[in-house]
Amino acid sequence: MLCVVEKQRQRRKALLQRFKDGVDMLSLWYVSALLIFLSPEASGTNPGVKVRLTQHGLEYGRQIGIITLQEKLKTLKIPDLSGSEKVSPIGKVSYSLTGIRILDLGLPKSGVGLVPGTGVSLFIGDAYINLHGNWRVKYLRIIKDSGSFDLSVKKLSISVTIGVKGDDTGRPTVSSANCAASVGDVSIKFHGGASWLYNLFKSYVDKALRKALQNQICSLVAQAIDEMNPHLKTLNVLAPVDKYAEIEYSMVESPLISNSSIDLSLKGEFYNIGHHQEPPFSPTPFSLPDQDTNMLYIALSAFTLNSAGFVYNNAGVLSLYITDDMIPSGFPIRLNTRTFGTFIPQIAKQYPGLMMKLLVKAVKEPDITFQPNNVTVRVSSTVTAYAIQPNATLSLVFILSVNASVSAQIYVSGLKVAGVLSLNGMDMALMTSYVGPFQVKSLDSVFNMILKVVVIPKVNSYLKQGYPLPSIGKMNLLNTQLQILKDHVLIGTDVQFGP
């Protein structure tokens, strides 16, 4: 009986353990899946904008960085040094070095490279530092001597790796991954005091100063690298465009660092201000071409511009009322029932001698496509025609659907990208008529003229204002070139930073 009870107890224990193991495995799987889902690298988010920093850009950064680092190293503060050593033949000698300050410092040779997957390597060679200070010694318990000294450090080398990654704001950040400083030749010239003492403790002073310099240098290099981060935080991750829109340039994944470049993948998406609604389409993958002539390359995908159309359409601003005073005075076609009555006689009969007003309104966001050397914008809209009654009330005349194809020229102006549109062609169809049936084809010339002289110039005056490119600090673009490629526009440029 007891054996049966014991077997049942063990069976229950085994079942409970299997259940527990199953729960633990399920929990582990669930947590792992959740982490994978939440991981930016695994989320499958494609960038709308890509930025590439080439070796030429790194070289320019090296020039700026060396100037900054040189100024930083001039703040080296060598602490007062003291010690005691047994020096033959006089015995114990106590010494101190005080008031050490830098007279001159130079970094004549330097080089920069990339460490794939990590960041940037910086090497400085043949650097030199000239210092001045005071010395004091005591020996044989009662004898003291003092004077000044000049210290010359030559063949100083510094090797540092700068790690590059993203922070929680979607901006790049840098840090010192490792640093090594090596002091080559050190020569000391003593002034004052008994000259026979100099060589007795010179080697000890040399050793102490070398150690102090090597410890200080890497600390200051790390500080100089950390001081780059406030500048990197000026990346306009959420740049205002106008009262309706802003564009987000936060990184969607960690920087990709290869042997030849640093690539940043940015969101590159327009949003309504204060309301970040995702569009019903997403970025498609695209690759940067293998170019390295310029310091910097910025690739803007069709997704970025299409998200702008989605935002402005949501804001209800893709519409325009057209009145007769917007048409140049020299044009024979006027917005009145007499002109339209020429093409549609029933308009002149039903509304004789009245002015007219048109409402052009997009029915959905424009569709922008990039093909090599060609940008096409397709716009689906309605045109509603009104007759203006003497009491200013509006009478509906007709509603047309208009599908227009527009070519765009994109250019860079300062730190903004702008555009100019020109009409390719359009198709019209009658949706509703309040004056009876008529042939829409008869109005082709009228609406071609209205689009060319009123609507497109209005749009171009807005596009001329441009929208901001991703930028850091007081950055200016030089030698800018622009190429229209498949699914994106590529901007190649050199950069220059202000003070």
Question: What stretch(es) of the chain map to CATH 3.15.20.10?
Answer: 234-497
Query: Which amino acid makes up residue 329?
Result: S
Average pLDDT over residues 450-463: 94
Tokens of 343: 């093409």
* pLDDT per position as a tens digit, 61-117: 999 889 888 888 888 888 888 888 777 777 788 888 899 899 999 999 999 999 999
> According to the model, what pLDDT value does residue 10 have?
56
Estimate the crossing angle of helix 198-226 against helix 55-73, to 10 degrees.
130
Eight-state DSSP code of residue 455: I
> According to the model, what pLDDT value does residue 201 have?
66
Residue 125's nearest CA partner among 109, 113, 105 is: 109
DSSP 218-242: HHHHHHHHHTTHHHHTTS-SEEE-S
* pLDDT per position as a tens digit, 336-353: 999 999 999 999 999 999
> According to the model, what pLDDT value does residue 196 have?
65
* pLDDT per position as a tens digit, 373-415: 999 999 999 999 999 999 999 999 999 999 999 999 999 999 9
Place of tokens 């003497």: 390
The fold of the 234-497 domain, in CATH, is Bactericidal permeability-increasing protein; domain 2 (3.15.20)
> According to the model, what pLDDT value does residue 358 have?
97
Position 285 confidence tier, pLDDT thresholds 50, 70, 90: very high
Query: Which amino acid makes up residue 349?
Result: K
Residue 353's nearest CA partner among 334, 331, 326, 329 is: 334
> According to the model, what pLDDT value does residue 22 have?
38
Residue 296's nearest CA partner among 75, 487, 50, 41 is: 50
| Element containing residue 67 per DSSP (H, E) | helix 55-73
% of the chain at pLDDT higher than 70: 90
Q: What pairing do the DSSP bridges indicate for beta strands 185-191 and 238-240? A: unpaired
Tokens of 79: 């602490």
* pLDDT per position as a tens digit, 173-215: 999 989 999 888 888 888 887 766 666 667 777 777 787 787 7
As a whole number, the mean pLDDT across the chain is 86
Kindly tell me if the per-residue pLDDT of 36 is higher than 80.
no
Contact (Cβ atoms closer than 8 angstroms) between residue 448 and residue 465: no
Of 30-44, 178-192, 398-412, 455-469, give the lowest mean pLDDT range: 30-44
Place of tokens 């007499």: 338
Domain 75-231 has CATH 3.15.10.10: yes
> According to the model, what pLDDT value does residue 140 have?
78
> According to the model, what pLDDT value does residue 208 have?
77
Contact (Cβ atoms closer than 8 angstroms) between residue 466 and residue 308: no
Kindly tell me if the per-residue pLDDT of 38 is higher than 80.
no
